[in-house]
């Protein structure tokens, strides 16, 4: 009987880490499903992967919309069948008044927006794949967080709250699922993701994910160089062209 091709689903796929992960797993024979909000971004990634001989498909969904996300997973199964690896890593980005990201001015709408995408999006994504993984007694779930899951960054308070929550969720999944044949882990990336960076190069990070997948034992990987994460954050915002001023 021919071996069934495995499928990697990337929720929050982007041209940086997402594309590198797709290429890394694709080189090992994985087919790749890309879930993102923008069709243009997905189409560019599919074209790049096709050039590498990797089968992939894009699925458009607002990750904070449960119905849209579930519909994307339904379409993925129609296209690829089984799902073997889930990577959840939508990038939280500042929106609106930056002052509302301080702990003093933080408001409910800001927390609701981030929680809808990061926390509820993660739970919905996991529940979309977990039953079949438990039934097979096999599967992998990666939940990616940022440095604010560990480090106190007042300027980034709401992101830190949801990232710390995601980290806790992933570690709880690891503890419970490890006895059931399903591997769950969290990767905390506390460096800027950019080509050529000693720690944050997306291809190097993708290699580390695949190594974790291969071993299937490590609950957590933390990638950090001990720099001032507030300074790294401000530099990242400037490179993205985001109009950001640190609240007093």
Reported as a single tens digit per residue, the pLDDT across 151-165 is 888 888 889 999 999
The ranges assigned to domains in the chain are 7-240
- Predicted confidence at residue 244, as pLDDT, reads 45
Question: What pLDDT score was predicted for residue 1?
Answer: 37
Class in CATH terms, 7-240: alpha beta
Q: Residue 6 pLDDT > 70, yes or no?
A: yes
pLDDT for residue 52? 95
pLDDT digits (tens, 9 = 90+) for 95-137: 656 667 788 888 898 899 999 999 999 999 999 999 999 999 9
DSSP string across the chain: -PPPPPEEEEET--TTHHHHHHHHHHTTT-EEEEEES-HHHHHHHHHHHHHTT--EEEEE--TT-HHHHHHHHHHHHHHH----EEEE-PPP---S-GGGGSTTT--HHHHHHHHHHHHHHHHHHHHHHHHHHHHHT-EEEEEEEEGGGTS--GGGHHHHHHHHHHHHHHHHHHHHHGGGTEEEEEEEE-S---TT-TTT-HHHHHHHHHHHHHH---SEEEE-----HHHHHHHHHHHHT-------
């Amino acid at each position: 009987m021919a071996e069934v091709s495995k499928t990697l689903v990337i929720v929050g796929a982007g041209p940086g880490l997402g594309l590198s992960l797709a290429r890394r797993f694709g080189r090992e024979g994985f087919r790749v499903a890309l879930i993102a909000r923008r069709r243009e971004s997905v189409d560019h990634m599919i074209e790049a992967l096709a050039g590498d001989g990797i089968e992939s498909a894009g699925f458009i969904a607002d990750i904070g919309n449960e119905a849209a996300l579930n519909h994307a997973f339904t379409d993925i199964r129609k296209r690829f069948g089984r799902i073997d690896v889930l990577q959840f890593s939508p990038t939280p980005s500042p929106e609106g008044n930056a002052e509302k990201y301080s702990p003093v001015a933080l408001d409910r709408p800001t927390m609701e927006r981030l929680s809808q995408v990061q926390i509820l999006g993660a739970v919905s994504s996991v529940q979309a794949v977990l039953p079949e993984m438990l039934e097979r007694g096999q599967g992998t779930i990666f939940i990616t967080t940022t440095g604010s899951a560990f480090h106190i960054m007042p300027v980034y308070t709401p992101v830190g709250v949801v990232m710390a929550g995601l980290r806790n969720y992933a570690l709880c999944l690891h503890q419970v699922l490890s006895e059931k044949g399903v591997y769950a882990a969290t990767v905390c990336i506390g460096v800027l993701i950019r080509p050529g960076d000693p720690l944050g190069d997306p291809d190097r990070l993708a290699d580390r994910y695949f190594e974790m997948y291969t071993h299937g034992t490590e609950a957590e990987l933390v990638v950090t160089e001990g720099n001032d994460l507030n300074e790294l954050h401000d530099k990242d915002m400037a490179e993205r062209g985001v109009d950001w001023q640190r609240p007093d």
